[in-house]
Structure 1
């Protein structure tokens, strides 16, 4: 059980850091770009320290395609929460429908073969 869940938990944590690295600076449009880039690199380093072990451990129980699918779904979920809670931006019905279609794709990947 832990063998399947730990990689997913690490991917969630890594995505939180990566989302802050990529989008956290948007709340500070006046910050110098060089400063933002360097800070983002530092945050991304933490993300890599979580994502690489997650993928290495996860590959023992998931295929690479399944790991990528998990990562994409986690990324969208983390981003949706980040967008609403941190950036204070709403998600439109189009965003939600698009995310749902991606989730449907993930369902197909994890479904037993037809």
Structure 2
């Protein structure tokens, strides 16, 4: 695999870690004022953008825009599943597994190419 194939995936994984904390990390701090968590989340999201924008710039051309978005969504689900288990302490159920599997099946069709 080439740099243009691997770098976007690595950068998207890292960016999704930041974005997951930006969007959901504050849930453990329900006692904090909303404006504080909004500002903190915005600050964390800045770093997500610093990784996601280069990921898409580097990857576009090797991947189509639809493929890049699909990669990002699958990574988002994987990162979120780990985050919700270990950070939020939520349970991962069979329903989650089925739902995420169906989304991954959709990703398969994006990468498969046109059906003839």
TM-score category (smaller protein): over 0.9
Gaps (5+ residues) in structure 2?
A: none
What is the root-mean-square deviation of aligned Cα atoms in Å?
A: 0.8
* Superposed structure 1 runs of 4+ greater than 3 Å apart: none
Query: Which residue does 1:36 correspond to in 2?
Result: 37
Partner SS, residue 51 of structure 1? helix
Cα offset for 1:42? 0.2
Matched with 1:61 is: 62
CA distance, structure 1, for counterparts of residue 64 and residue 4 of structure 2 = 14
1:49 aligns with 2:50: yes
Take 1:26 and 1:69, find their aligned partners in 2: how far apart are those partners?
A: 27
Instruction: Tell me which residue corresponds to 1:113.
Output: 114
Q: Quote how far apart the aligned CAs of 1:24 are.
A: 0.1
Q: How does the TM-score come out when normalised to structure 2?
A: 0.95
